[in-house]
């Protein structure tokens, strides 16, 4: 089984930056590629910032940070991935764009390279079908933030060879030190198949006025020993681009106290459903507005069509 020493990462967003960071910290040579070199360099800057924060926390030694950064290059040219042993796609979550990308990767990479998709909403088999080497295509689903989350889901298709699956598992488990689980190529795989209905149920409970966001999260943390409630988690991972920390529309405004609960439906505009009559939309402590207050009645007409952690 050929060892993996050079990794290509396609996409320069938050997930791609995390994958790039953990690979570089493991001593691998990483090429970070996006549609333009400027975007790729912006992604590299994000990796550098994350490594600096890790050094300040004491989780990475200064020499480790320097070595990791030295092993990363940024490019806007897919042909620069030609010598990669493994290419991980973490680009826009669009099936047409991804299949076109896999078709191009099949052309520019070495025939012995493994091509991996980091998606939980598009079948890996469809990505593999765009290539002439479906046996070398596998799913590697990381979780955000990648440097902190220990899990990677490994998704072989019906055409993935045993050798490719072994290489993927050795890469994620042995080289990166991640915990790996294997799942069939089905929508949501394991984690999101369980997580998405759970988060949707929490959102709907708030929308129906059953209880508050805070009480839902307290119920799950204090009653089920979950480290994080479903709505705090939904804020963290984002939901369909409409809600969550990435969009500035959160259930808990802990990071944006200036965004009052009253302002959120106005900001949405197209989600006008009012809260249940008589329900308070803010709390106060000692006469002061609580910056960590929950939004207790959220419009749900167009919320959470698909919840996929990115």
Q: Which residues are catalytic?
A: 120, 141, 153, 192
- Which residues is 138 bridged to in the sheet? 116, 156
- Name the DSSP class of 158: T
- Distance, CA of 67 to CA of 58 (rounded, Å): 16
CB-based burial label for 183 (10 Å; 0-12, 13-18, 19+):
middle
Measured distance CA(154)–CA(172) in Å, rounded: 9
H or E stretch covering 141: strand 137-142
Cα–Cα distance between 306 and 298 in angstroms, integer?
Answer: 17
Strand 151-156 relative to strand 6-10, pairing: unpaired
8 Å CB contact between 59 and 85: no
What does the DSSP 8-state code read for residue 239? B
């Amino acid at each position: 089984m050929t060892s993996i020493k050079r990794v290509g990462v396609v996409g320069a967003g938050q997930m791609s930056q995390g994958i790039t960071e953990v690979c570089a910290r493991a001593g691998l040579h990483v090429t970070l590629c996006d549609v333009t070199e400027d975007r790729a360099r912006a992604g590299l800057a994000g990796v550098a910032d994350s490594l600096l924060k890790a050094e300040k926390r004491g989780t990475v030694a200064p020499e480790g940070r320097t070595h990791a950064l030295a092993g990363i290059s940024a490019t806007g040219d897919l042909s620069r991935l030609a010598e990669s042993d493994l290419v991980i796609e973490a680009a826009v979550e669009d099936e047409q764009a991804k299949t076109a990308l896999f078709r191009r990767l099949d052309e520019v990479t070495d025939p012995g390279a493994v091509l991996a998709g980091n998606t939980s909403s598009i079948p890996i088999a469809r990505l593999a079908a765009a290539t002439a080497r479906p046996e070398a295509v596998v799913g590697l689903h990381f979780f955000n933030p990648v440097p902190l989350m220990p899990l990677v889901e490994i998704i072989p298709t019906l055409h993935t060879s045993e050798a490719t699956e072994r290489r993927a598992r050795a890469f994620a488990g042995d080289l990166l030190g991640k915990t790996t689980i294997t799942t069939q190529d089905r929508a949501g795989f394991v984690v999101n198949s369980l997580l998405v209905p759970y988060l949707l149920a929490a959102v709907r409970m708030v929308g129906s006025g059953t209880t508050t966001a805070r009480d839902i999260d307290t119920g799950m943390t204090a009653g089920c020993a979950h480290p994080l409630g479903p709505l705090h988690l939904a804020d963290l991972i984002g939901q369909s681009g409409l809600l969550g920390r990435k969009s500035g529309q959160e259930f808990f405004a802990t990071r944006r106290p200036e965004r009052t609960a009253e302002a959120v439906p106005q900001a949405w505009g197209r989600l006008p459903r009012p809260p249940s009559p008589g329900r308070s939309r803010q709390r106060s402590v000692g006469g002061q507005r609580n910056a960590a207050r929950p939004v207790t009645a959220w419009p749900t007409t167009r919320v959470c069509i698909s919840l996929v952690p990115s």
